[in-house]
Amino acid sequence: MRLNKKVLPTALITMGALHFLRAKTFESIVPPQLPGSPRLYNFASGAWEIATGFLLTDRATRESGGASAAALFLAVWPANMYHAWIERDVGWPKKLYHIIRLPLQIPLIRYAWKIAQGRA
């Protein structure tokens, strides 16, 4: 996967901001099996996305940003798995979105790891 160096940071910062601007939407997809408040997971992951996006924008912190992005994508993998295969109380359009999204995370994780290694 080869992306313009601005695409991933922009996407992460935008999605992170949406965690705060559309909190209820993101809180509704936190798996209920997780301990604690969905709000905590939502705001923590939103802040992590924003911070990672900014790390990726600076040449001096880009590799750290890549490691952070890889860890972030791996951390949210279980939630995406839950929505793709376990959750039953959603319609097929939403379920299909999560089923398609799940394997697309693999190239994102690999790309983020390449950034962390200074190869992208």
At residue 1, the pLDDT reads: 56
* Contact between 39 and 23 (Cβ < 8 Å): yes
- What is d(CA 112, CA 67) in angstroms, rounded to the nearest whole number? 7
* Contact between 52 and 12 (Cβ < 8 Å): yes
pTM, two decimals, is 0.89
- What is d(CA 51, CA 29) in angstroms, rounded to the nearest whole number? 21
> Residue-wise pLDDT tens for the chain (120 aa)?
566 889 999 999 999 999 999 999 889 888 888 999 999 999 999 999 999 999 999 999 999 999 999 999 999 988 888 888 776 777 788 788 888 888 999 999 999 999 999 999
> Tokens 């939407």 label which residue?
25
Instruction: Measure the CA angle with vertex 77, ends 81 and 73; round to 5°.
Output: 155
At residue 9, the pLDDT reads: 97
Residue 86 CA: distances (Å) to CA of 10, 29, 80: 31, 12, 10
**Considering Cα of 30, then 26, then 19, then 6, what sign does the dihedral take?**
positive
At residue 7, the pLDDT reads: 94
- What is d(CA 104, CA 12) in angstroms, rounded to the nearest whole number? 15
